[in-house]
Chains A and B, each alone.
Chain A
């Protein structure tokens, strides 16, 4: 594929409401997990997560009442502070991924009524709010490949650029912590009462988080300004095996990873760093390890791997975009953030994972994502190292 330039990024996360704070917190091991305060959790087994406690005021106007749109607004403000949308507004596309859309508004609509609230419950509403906020008139696309959405959205964005259907793309993902999703994961018993420990022997489940993450993408050939890096390749796949659980051998994920590497024109031997999906569930981390061992071969044990969900929870639709941004910042600054919660190696997850940040300057990174419905996605990114 034709590489896409990643010009700049903006975020709103539990460990920082802007890119610099987020990155600093990730590198220094700040814990973004706390007791959830925004809604009732006393009837749930687990009431903790990566909740953003206080939203800051937006650059202009007021924050939308819909929290998903509010998080996207803050991430967009952060992005626009770092890069201009210097293109014809009709040629700027918005592609955002989400697992939950505005479902919290749907929940509220059932309780309170109202037309506007009900309309906000449609999953594509926040993307349109973002497009209006950015004053752009190009394609507005909402992707919902569950927790792989942020990666798929960046892939669709790259395709829009490559096809000449847009000159700039604001791509990324978001999701909010709300009772709907907490009740769901609580009922599934996927949430841990302990610390999230990706790839650790004692890992016992995930915790959810909320965030929005956006990147500005452009055709690499058009670039005359500095950039964070490039998206070299992307791919998605379906497991076709189970409605909620990943394929037991990770065949779908392997397919996505191999196709993303092929699209990037590189082999597994070129991968310097892996940002794993790393939810901290016993099954996910074991499957991902097996896939990485098959794709990277003997090098799998020595390629640095991390998972940032221990620090801020699983931010669902935002997760893959945050992880892609992290890959590019690692390359820029020569630091690979540690995997919060990782202390005891698991023989079934014999990868090069560390609990604390380390000096490393990866040029080519691989980012993997999985989601409900057998969704898999992989991104191959190149930093500025």
Chain B
């Protein structure tokens, strides 16, 4: 069975499972979105990095800390990276669209007021977040990027297990990032479709083991899916990793992780 070595969890509530309130809806009060600040990660290389990219980097750092691993342990071609998001690309997409529209606000110098030039275009791709992570940690192994909600992360945990089982990697990082603040107007339009509150989150699990016989497929909602929704709020693709963090905090030796998105629910079982 695939073994979870550690989980890094950052949410709008704070760092780790211990920061989650007992009832996210009550804790949010009138707030529709519980957001996170841009992580204070400095360096010339990050001058154009998006908030969601930095959140991804910070989540991996937290996961390594929880796993007792240093950066050297994951650098190189033997660590796979599987990234998932439902919507974290929304902010950069919106910025680019707004900045390059004919009616875009201009600075006094005639430049777009928002980042919309060629150097910003690559940051609109969902691959920008894992790219920043891969560069920062020197990851050159198997690389899969999935777009979807909580089910996407269950798929990602399975995909990472497959890569471990096939000896395509000895370690795997499953990373999920969701941000909402920049597209709050768009999310408000669909408020009937998403539970309140939307909680920004970045989470990463470090996986090891050979993953033979990984249990993966359709399944009913797990206890930890229900608990993650109640305590964290709606974190979309991060929800299964919130569930994993809660399972580890509860001292479980294994966990059935489930996720639901667009009418499909899937499960995967891992050792925690």
Contact = CB atoms under 8 A, between A and B. Distances in A.
Interface of A: 1, 43, 90, 98-99, 101, 103, 106-107, 109-110, 113-115, 118-119, 121-124, 128, 137, 139-146, 152, 156, 159, 162-163, 165, 180, 183-185, 187-189, 235-244, 251-252, 255, 259, 263, 371-376
Nearest to A149: B145
A381 B161 CA distance: 24
Which of A43, A103, A237, A255 has the largest count of B CB atoms less than 10 A from its CB? A237
23 contacts: A101-B147, A106-B94, A113-B189, A115-B190, A122-B147, A137-B264, A140-B264, A143-B146, A162-B162, A180-B96, A180-B124, A183-B96, A184-B96, A185-B121, A187-B100, A236-B142, A237-B143, A240-B135, A240-B137, A240-B138, A371-B127, A373-B127, A373-B130
Given A114-B189, A372-B127, A374-B131, 12 more contacts: A98-B147, A106-B90, A115-B190, A124-B86, A139-B266, A144-B125, A156-B144, A238-B130, A240-B140, A251-B140, A263-B168, A374-B143
A358 B215 CA distance: 48
The 9 A-B pairs with the shortest beta carbon distances in the complex, nearest first, are: A373-B127, A187-B118, A373-B131, A184-B121, A244-B122, A238-B143, A240-B134, A188-B118, A238-B134
B262 A145 contact: no
- Which interface class (under 10, 10 to 19, 20 to 34, 35 or more) fits B? 35 or more
Interface of B is mostly: mixed
B152 interface: yes
A68 B124 CA distance: 18
Nearest to A179: B100
A373 B86 CA distance: 18
A104 to B, nearest CB: 10
Contacts of A376: 143
Nearest to B190: A115
Given A124-B148, A240-B138, A255-B140, A110 B97 contact: yes
Contacts of B132: 243
A144 B131 contact: no
Contacts of B90: 106, 121
A263 B94 CA distance: 40
Contact of B135 (A43, A109, A119, A243): A243
A251 B139 CA distance: 12
Contacts of A103: 93, 124
Contacts of A143: 144-147
B15 interface: no
Nearest to B87: A122
Given A159-B159, A235-B168, A144 B216 contact: no
Contact of A123 (B89, B142, B143): B89
Contacts of B117: 187
A184 B89 CA distance: 15
A309 B127 CA distance: 22
B155 interface: yes
A180 B77 CA distance: 34
Contacts of A188: 118, 121-122
B102 interface: yes
